[in-house]
Homo-oligomer: A and B are copies of this chain.
Amino acid sequence: MSAAASPAMLVSEVGPRDGLQSIQRTMPTADKLRWITALHAAGVREIEVGSFVPPALLPQMADTAEVVAHALTLPGLIVAALAPNLRGAQAAFAAGVHKLTIPVSVTEAHSLANVRKTHEQVFTDLAAISALKREQYPQVELEAGLSVAFGCTLAGPVSDDDTLHIAERAAAAGVDVVGLSDTSGYAEPRQVRRLFTRLASELGNRAGGAHFHNTRGQGLANVLAAIEAGVTTFDASRGGIGGCPYAPGASGNIVTEDLVFLLEAMGFSTGIDVERLIAARRVVQEALAGEPLYGMVAEAGLPKGFTYATQQALTAA
């Protein structure tokens, strides 16, 4: 594969956060560190390593500051975390994260259920977090991650205007970038193309990446639609951890190996070695024995004669 200095597509691994917080068991800290090291060794250049939330709510994330400290030792890695409020953001900034995502629900119903706050309260918090960042941590990239941007299990369908309205409010609150999340697997490709096209046209260089779940199998079709709308950053989870153990294939996030295969096969360089990524699966299997892992490429392997994308191939495409 090419040793691309600047990958054409940024694959952001969210397994240590979104994957691990979705399962009951807690992965021991030492295993998290081994896992993150293995992901980095496979070429992953951004990892959301945890969430700064009260341990009483999510004990799986209690060691996030320690995990961040380890991740910061890995050369070239963008260390990302999530925080649901100002207190969490303070802890994340203090821990030294490079990127911080604040979840902002597009529907108030989801906001109340997820963070127990109205939109007004969320945006007040977001403005305070943005101010703190500007004053003391200007080097951190602050992202608003718009939950249920394509549909909501509580409120049902979500209009494009509703999502764009929340995106604009988040940008106005001072974040650097606004990403769109399909939290519950509602998105379809035409909607994805429309929304990311409008996000880019209305937010310019504050338009962020896509966070898709594969709840209804449509995750990679939505990735293709987002690529067509100019998106270059995609969240994904190693092994698709977080899927329901009683639902074969019903993964949470889209699966990193499958995403990387799709992007590389299409000619977009990711800097990631699929086979080393598959090998890193072993760390998770050992640390969470019996936990079902998802994904097709890990089972099927790469096609015979497969070649990774190069920057040249991308330019030619």
- A: residues with CB less than 8 A from B are 151-157, 184-186, 188-190, 214-218, 220-221, 223-225, 240, 244, 246-251, 255, 258, 261-262, 265-267, 292-297, 299-300, 303-305, 317
Contact = CB atoms under 8 A, between A and B. Distances in A.
B293 A218 contact: no
Contact of A297 (B216, B225, B267, B296): B216
A83 to B, nearest CB: 28
Chain A at the B interface: mostly helix, strand, loop or mixed?
loop
Number of copies: 2
A188 to B, nearest CB: 4
B255 A296 contact: no
A250 B189 contact: no
9 contacts: A151-B303, A151-B304, A156-B305, A216-B297, A216-B303, A218-B220, A218-B262, A248-B292, A250-B300
A63 B17 CA distance: 52
A216 B298 CA distance: 8
Contacts of A190: 266-267, 317
Contacts of A266: 188-190
A296 B152 contact: no
Contacts of A151: 303-305
A224 to B, nearest CB: 5
